[in-house]
Amino acid sequence: MGALLTRAVERLDGDAAGRLGRITVEILGPVLRSEPVTVVAGVERPGRKIALREATLAQAGPDGRPRDVARARAWWVRERDTAAAVHRPGPVLRLPGRTAPSLFEASVPSSWRTGFIGSMQWRVVTPIGPGDAPAVAWSRMGADLVEGEAISDAQRAVATADTANGIGARLDTGAWSFVNTELTVHLFDRPDAEWIGVEAESAIGPHGIGMGSALLHGERGPFGRVTQCLLVEPVS
């Protein structure tokens, strides 16, 4: 969902020297894999240095009429040479060699291993689940976002960012649900490899609201940050 909306805002006419700086995806309803989707994008606020772009993803509802299931707003930022001022909010994390399948299977509930998550290749560094330290996992897209079309760096990053909620889970999935209501991704650098590392954590408040957060890692170190608002509920 997020990657498709990212693709839509990237394909708008605009300054070729610019790129995506931030995108927020508001999730308005479930998306059925069995039904086609329609994506419409436009420029809300044009500009030479920054522009605000938007995109909407729609799908037929139960009554057959189109309904919006997700909306995105993205800041498109003109690029400049700031190599002399580079600062990254964390050390370089190295991509591990092939990890034992048992670590992935022990960390990821079977219900998560189908669809989007199941289509990706994984290298889990630390166990995913209840704990105090951030969890780290690396993944690579295992299928085309759009058949026959090369995926962009930003699309790959946003698709991977969508997994942060699960990687940073701090709750027993058999006892709790923690659904994200939105996804916000800031990209201060370009992803520099197909494998992307997610260093994720969750904060849970006492009144049913949580926050997922993560750093996105590449070969040069962190290149982006993810935040998600979580609806936390006990499983009845």
The 10s digit of each residue's pLDDT in 12-46 is 976 567 999 999 999 999 888 778 999 999 999 99
Fold of 1-80: Thiol Ester Dehydrase; Chain A (3.10.129)
Give residue 104's pLDDT. Answer: 64
Give mean pLDDT, residues 133-139.
Answer: 90
Give residue 45's pLDDT. Answer: 94
Give mean pLDDT, residues 83-90.
Answer: 94
* DSSP 8-class letter at 182: E
The 10s digit of each residue's pLDDT in 143-201 is 888 889 999 999 999 999 999 998 998 888 888 999 999 999 999 999 888 999 999 99
Fold of 95-236: Porin (2.40.160)
Domain boundaries, the chain: 1-80, 95-236
CA 70 and chain centroid, separation: 14
Q: Percent of the chain at pLDDT above 90? A: 64
In whole numbers, what is the pLDDT of the chain averaged over residues?
A: 89
Alpha helices, H only, 162-228: 164-167
Q: Are 77 and 50 in contact (CB under 8 A)?
A: yes
